[in-house]
Amino acid sequence: MEKWAGITGTGTTTDPSTMFLLQQYWWIIVAVLGGLFVLMTMVQGGQSLFHTAKDEMEEKALINSLGRKWELTFTTLVMFGGALYAAFPLFYSVSFGGAYWVWMLILFGFVLQAVSYEYINNPNNLIGKGAYKAFLYFNGVVTVILVGAAVGTFFTGSNFSFDTTTRILEWGTAADGINLRGLEAAIDFGHGAWFNVAFGVLLFAIARLLGAMWIINDVDNNEFADLIARVRAASKRCFFVFLGALVVVLYGLVTLKGYSYDIHTGKVFMEDNKYLHNLLAGYGIQLIIFGIGAVLFLLGIFQSIFGNSTGGIKASGLGAVLIGIIVFTLAGLNGTPFYPSYADLQSSLTIQNTSGSEATLWVMTGVSLAVPFVLGYIAYVWYQMKKDGPITREELEDPESHAY
Amino acid sequence: MVDYNMLEWARAQFAMTAIFHFFFVPFTLGMSFMVAYFETIYVKTGKAEWKQITQFWQVLFGINFAIGLSTGIIHEFEFGTNWSTYSWVVGDLFGAPLAVEGVIAFFMEATFAAIAFFGWKRVSKGVHLMSSWLLAAGSNLSALWILIANGFMQHPTSAFYTFNIDTARLELTDFLSLILQPVAQVKFLHVVTASYTMAAVFVLGVSSLYLLRGKYTSFAKKSATVAAASGLIASIAVAVIGDDHAYEVANTQPTKIASLEGLIVGEKGAPIVAMGLPKYMSVEEIKNAKEGDGFTFEIALPHLLSILGKREFDAFVPGVKDLIYGNEEYGIWSWDKLVAEGKRAIDDLHKYHAAKKAGDEAGMKAAEEDFHAIVADVDGTKVERAELMGYGYFAELPNNGIEFAYPPVAPVFFSFHLMVALGFWFILLFVLAYVAVLKDTYWDNKMLQQAALFTIPLPWIAISFGWMSAEIGRQPWTVFGVLPTFKSVTPLDLVNVQATFFMFLVAFVVLGIAELKMLFTVVKNGPKGAH
């Protein structure tokens, strides 16, 4: 008898197929939120470009352009966490409780970011402007790489075992005997650390490219011509980092022996080229979406980074969302344990054995109907704030306009 | 076996985060509406002075807003990182309100904050005003959902959950009942009215500072008038709803109400101790205690606790002794009896899973039937053995962990009583201020202005005490009667928890001081140029 067999989180359900549909629906919602989060990491990416500002006004332009959007990134992250908590509580428990230091450092990076925009240009901020700039840079580089590496473990696995009855979670010890509580994902090359790190670097490069395109779009290109030129130059260099990391990640995805499970028995096993199979499953719909996303992402880069257009963020932004969605669907659908364990294969977490009850998933499904409305008013507000054109020197200097 | 040292550090870390978070949140809840109200007057009258008033208070609100938001996410993460067993066992119920909070409230807050702070010149007056109100609504809706989650922790009932023997966790059965649980509703109203009181105290206090210094007089008069009126309504509402809250607590968490009032031995016509010094008593001393024991000295108001808790002059209110050693006359089970039933439920759970593994269907059925057997009838409500499972975990501890069966009396008693005393002070202050404003004498009443100024920090203290009494008072449970705190914590090595504790402590101290420095500077510089 397999450890998870029969434990599908079904609780009160009488129809396992309905339950499974709800679990898949919720994984797709998580994937969409993940995709939106990838787009919103443009704020972090932009923070990693602070060094391109050479005077106070240029710096202020960057801070105000990014600072008006940080709350949305933050909220998307909170929502991503909230959706995982409600829909897949066992994942929340195992991953957050197990990979303790990874999540704590990610959390710390976001806490530092949250206060920095409000405090950075305030003369009484206690620790000086430089400190808050460093916080934003830390959040823009280290935090993003950590998030990417954490998502990488969705493919390479983690070092844990879990018993549902006794509720005992054991997070394994690294080879040198120290329990790094998740940080081993970046150094344990025998268990795919190279892939995790490449994934982190890839996310960082995507974030920086998106950040650059957002700045190019949001800051007046004529008044800040020198800044825009430096942002473009930095992004061109970043593009090559992006390509390098992409090659490694794609190589990994295509060649990695992936984790798989039987959706009826719950038995987990290894499968050659699993993620390639996932990409091609269902008439290749994921491959098509991934391809469209990749083309759009590159199109935007050629428009705004290698060309002089200000609108590249639109194509690249949409492309990033689509790519993000497919990364998560590859990790969790088609009989794939989205949080595998290499220490105890049968402890691997799937959308079936981690999910909330049917009642909760139904309630959440009802709530998810509000999402288009939420996206609608976000778009409305975005339009309202952008309709008068990009950020100008006049606006930043105007005492009547609240500015960071 | 849980490392109790680590458990205490994990609790301290969560408490530190909660207290720090709640320095900012109530201010946000109250000030957001206050700012929206000021802006409404500006839009209606078109007078520039009201715009200046709005922008001044908005700047102060903004400084708080970011740090409130950022400390909120720490909580969301800590439920997973430090309380992972809790998240697994009750995540099905607890996660849903959190997710709804994200969809319904957080996005509203974050989206419209951008317009409220930066849209003064980018959008029309109408759109800006709407954004300010939606920002306030989003903030307050957020409080509603998190307090629904907290209400469940205070009083979980079979009306909205069941224990699933297969998944070994609590599962939602009725979302509407979860939302409409009276404990959560009164808690929400108590918290938001306290938050409006805090904002009113702050606005009145800062306005009074300007009046005392003879600066920005017109600004201060207008602000103080709004604050005095809203503060009067809010502070009275806090007390009225607080009474309802106490009634709910008395009927759902008897160990908490006994500790809040320092009632060691239950009695009919139980008193409220208005002032007193509770004695430390061991469980042995409690066992031998007699009616009236428990205080070194006290000033007691007879019958008031019976009226407050049971709405009857002579009703019996159980004390700590009755609740841990039982009281047959009133049908109260002893702690040991509860632990024994709970232990049997845990054994049933293990038997069920062993039988399942062996493919023994008869064994599974027998274990499940025993697990769900009705063991008590409390005022017509049937209690299943499964509902007592949480008590069974205490069988692991010496003497069934009886010394942990109730919260520590002194900190709960003092925090509660100080909160109440401060609440009455706020009512008195606002009555005096409102009458003085109506009579047009507040502007020259230096004593009242000074009182308002020195009252500024007190709502923060009152609210922190309120949460301390609520959360320490719930011990030894994270989910009252269902999941003990020591069974909720993530099994981590102590050093991890200590390291993150200090990491956050340093961050909170630095950011807290920076925050105060900025607030003081904005107040010192006054409304001119605040934007």
* A111 touches B at CB < 8 Å: yes
Q: What pLDDT sits at residue B505?
A: 96
* A89 touches B at CB < 8 Å: yes
**Is pLDDT above 90 for A176?**
no
Residue A42 located in a structural domain: yes
* A63 touches B at CB < 8 Å: no
Q: What is the pLDDT of residues B414-448, one digit of tens each?
A: 999 999 999 999 999 999 999 999 999 999 999 99
> Bridge partners of B268?
B316
Instruction: Find out whether B133 and B37 touch, Cβ atoms under 8 Å.
Output: no
Dig out the tokens for B363 from the structure: 């064994």
Q: What pLDDT sits at residue A10?
A: 40
Residue A333 phi, psi dihedral angles, 5° rounding: -100, 180
What size, in residues, is chain B? 531
| Closest by Cβ to A165, choosing from B63, B122, B350 | B350
Dig out the tokens for B453 from the structure: 């100024």
The torsion angle over the Cα atoms of residues B59, B60, B63 and B66, rounded to 10 degrees, is -90
Q: Is B215 left (phi over 0), alpha (psi -120 to 50) or beta?
A: beta
This model of the complex carries an ipTM of 0.91
Cβ B91–A83 below 8 Å, yes or no?
Answer: no
Question: What CA–CA distance (Å, rounded) separates A157 from B416?
Answer: 48
Cβ A104–B162 below 8 Å, yes or no?
Answer: no
Instruction: Find out whether B257 and B249 touch, Cβ atoms under 8 Å.
Output: yes
pTM above 0.90, yes or no: yes
What is the DSSP code (8-state) at residue B492?
-
Q: Which residue from B minimizes the CA distance to A179?
A: B493
| Closest by Cβ to A82, choosing from B58, B101, B350 | B101
Residue A11 located in a structural domain: no
Q: If we measure between CA atoms, which residue out of B230, B222, B235 comes closest to residue B442? A: B222
B/e letters for A63-96, b = 16+ CB within 10 Å, e = fewer, are bbbbbbbbbbbbbbbbbbbbbbbbbbbbbbbbbb
**Is pLDDT above 80 for B366?**
yes
Question: Stretch B69-75: mean pLDDT, rounded?
Answer: 86
C-alpha to C-alpha distances, B188 to A397, B151, B182, B255, B384, nearest whole angstrom: 42, 9, 10, 22, 30
Cβ B492–A181 below 8 Å, yes or no?
Answer: yes
Lowest-confidence region among A301-305, B60-64, B362-366: B60-64
* A16 touches B at CB < 8 Å: no
Q: What pLDDT sits at residue A177?
A: 66
**Dihedral sign, CA of A78, A83, A88, A89?**
positive
Q: What is the pLDDT of residues B448-468, one digit of tens each?
A: 999 999 999 999 999 999 999
| Three-state secondary structure readout of A97-119 | HHCHHHHHHHHHHHHHHHHHHHH
Cβ B65–A114 below 8 Å, yes or no?
Answer: no
Each domain of chain B, given as residue ranges in start order, spans 4-256+405-525, 264-317, 332-404
Q: What is the pLDDT of residues B285-335, one digit of tens each?
A: 999 999 989 999 999 999 999 999 999 999 999 999 999 999 999 999 999
> Bridge partners of B298?
B276
Question: What CA–CA distance (Å, rounded) separates A198 from B454?
Answer: 56
Give the CA angle between residues A368, A373, A379 to the nearest 5°: 125
| Closest by Cβ to A11, choosing from B77, B164, B503 | B164
Q: How many Cβ atoms sit within 10 Å of the Cβ of residue A146?
A: 25
Q: What pLDDT sits at residue B70?
A: 83
Q: Which residues contact A350 (CB under 8 A, 6 or more apart)?
A: A4, A261, A266, A268, A332, A336, A337, A338
Question: What CA–CA distance (Å, rounded) separates A139 from A107?
Answer: 10
What size, in residues, is chain A? 404
> Bridge partners of B103?
none
* B495 touches A at CB < 8 Å: no
Question: Stretch A153-176: mean pLDDT, rounded?
Answer: 81
Q: How many Cβ atoms sit within 10 Å of the Cβ of residue A285?
A: 13
If you average pLDDT over every residue of chain B, what do you get?
94
Percentage of chain B exceeding pLDDT 90: 88
* A164 touches B at CB < 8 Å: yes
Cβ A384–B119 below 8 Å, yes or no?
Answer: yes
First to last CA, chain B: 56
Q: What pLDDT sits at residue B76?
A: 86
Instruction: Find out whether A197 and A155 touch, Cβ atoms under 8 Å.
Output: no
Q: What pLDDT sits at residue A78?
A: 87
Between residues 219 and 258 of chain B, which touch chain A (CB distance below 8 Å)?
Answer: none
Exposed/middle/buried for residue A376 (C-beta within 10 Å: 0-12, 13-18, 19+): exposed
Question: Stretch A139-146: mean pLDDT, rounded?
Answer: 97
Question: What CA–CA distance (Å, rounded) separates B138 from B116?
Answer: 13
* A97 touches B at CB < 8 Å: yes
Return the amino acid letter for B13: Q
Q: What is the pLDDT of residues B9-56, one digit of tens each?
A: 999 999 999 999 999 999 999 999 999 999 999 999 999 999 999 999
Q: Which residue from B minimizes the CA distance to A64?
A: B118
* A125 touches B at CB < 8 Å: yes
Question: Stretch A245-257: mean pLDDT, rounded?
Answer: 91
Full domain range(s) for residue A189: 16-397
The torsion angle over the Cα atoms of residues A283, A285, A288 and A290, rounded to 10 degrees, is -140
| Residue A11 banded pLDDT, cuts 50, 70, 90 | very low
Q: If we measure between CA atoms, which residue out of B73, A339, B160, A180 comes closest to residue A171? A: A180
Pick from B15-24, B190-199, B267-276 the range whose average pLDDT is largest.
B190-199
Residue to test with chain B: of A26, A384, A385, A396, most B Cβ within 10 A: A384
Q: How many Cβ atoms sit within 10 Å of the Cβ of residue B331?
A: 11
Question: What CA–CA distance (Å, rounded) separates B290 from B266?
Answer: 9
Dig out the tokens for A273 from the structure: 């080229």
Segment (H or E) for B378? strand B374-378
Instruction: Find out whether B115 and B123 touch, Cβ atoms under 8 Å.
Output: yes
Percentage of chain A exceeding pLDDT 70: 94
Question: Stretch A3-17: mean pLDDT, rounded?
Answer: 49
Q: What is the pLDDT of residues B464-501, one digit of tens each?
A: 999 999 999 999 999 999 999 999 999 999 999 999 99
Q: If we measure between CA atoms, which residue out of B345, B433, B339, B349 comes closest to residue B386? A: B345
* B130 touches A at CB < 8 Å: no
**Is pLDDT above 70 for A2?**
no
Between residues 432 and 461 of chain B, which touch chain A (CB distance below 8 Å)?
Answer: none
Q: Which residue from A minimizes the CA distance to B131?
A: A381
Distance from CA of B77 to the nearest CA of A (A): 7
Question: Stretch B114-125: mean pLDDT, rounded?
Answer: 91
Number of domains in chain A: 1
Cβ A359–B511 below 8 Å, yes or no?
Answer: no
* B159 touches A at CB < 8 Å: no
Q: Which residue from A minimizes the CA distance to B107?
A: A75
> Bridge partners of A361?
none
Return the amino acid letter for B472: I
Q: What is the pLDDT of residues A305-344, one digit of tens each?
A: 999 999 999 999 999 999 999 999 999 999 999 999 999 9
Between residues 315 and 374 of chain A, which touch chain B (CB distance below 8 Å)?
Answer: 356-357, 359-360, 363-364, 367-368, 370-371, 374
| Closest by Cβ to A360, choosing from B112, B172, B518 | B172
Cβ A359–B112 below 8 Å, yes or no?
Answer: no
What is the DSSP code (8-state) at residue A391?
B
Residue A171 phi, psi dihedral angles, 5° rounding: -105, 120
Residue A292 located in a structural domain: yes
More confident residue, A11 or B475: B475
Residues of A whose CB is below 8 A from B514:
115, 119, 124-127
Q: Which residue from A minimizes the CA distance to B94?
A: A86
Q: What is the pLDDT of residues B308-322, one digit of tens each?
A: 999 999 999 999 999
| Residue A401 banded pLDDT, cuts 50, 70, 90 | low
Q: What pLDDT sits at residue B252?
A: 92
Q: What pLDDT sits at residue B473?
A: 96
Residue A8 located in a structural domain: no
* B505 touches A at CB < 8 Å: no
Q: Which residue from A minimizes the CA distance to B355?
A: A1
Give the CA angle between residues A89, A90, A95 to the nearest 5°: 105
Per the listing, tokens 């970046």 go with A186
Q: Which residues contact B487 (CB under 8 A, 6 or more apart)?
A: B2, B85, B390, B393
Q: Which residue from A minimizes the CA distance to B91?
A: A89
Residues of A whose CB is below 8 A from B83:
97
Q: Which residues contact B414 (CB under 8 A, 6 or more apart)?
A: none
Question: Stretch B346-373: mean pLDDT, rounded?
Answer: 95
**Is pLDDT above 90 for B154?**
yes
Distance from CA of A349 to the nearest CA of B (A): 13
Exposed/middle/buried for residue B279 (C-beta within 10 Å: 0-12, 13-18, 19+): middle
Q: What pLDDT sits at residue B138?
A: 94
Q: What is the pLDDT of residues A77-101, one digit of tens each?
A: 888 888 999 999 999 999 999 999 9
Residues of B whose CB is below 8 A from A167:
85, 88-89, 168
Ranges assigned E (strand) in A244-380: 258-261, 268-271
Q: If we measure between CA atoms, which residue out of B385, B404, B418 comes closest to residue B477? A: B404
Q: What is the pLDDT of residues B242-262, one digit of tens each?
A: 999 999 999 999 999 999 999
Q: Which residue from A minimizes the CA distance to B168?
A: A165
Q: For the range B449-453, what are the long-range contacts, defined as Cβ-Cβ under 8 Å and sequence gap of 24 or more?
A: B449/B208, B449/B209, B449/B211, B449/B212, B450/B208, B450/B212, B452/B201, B452/B204, B452/B205, B452/B207, B452/B208, B453/B205, B453/B208, B453/B209, B453/B212
* B70 touches A at CB < 8 Å: yes
Dig out the tokens for B46 from the structure: 């078109």
**Is pLDDT above 80 for A121?**
yes
Question: Stretch A197-202: mean pLDDT, rounded?
Answer: 97
**DSSP secondary structure string for all residues of B30-91:** HHHHHHHHHHHHHHHH--HHHHHHHHHHHHHHHHHHHHHHHHHHHHHHHHHHT-HHHHHHHH
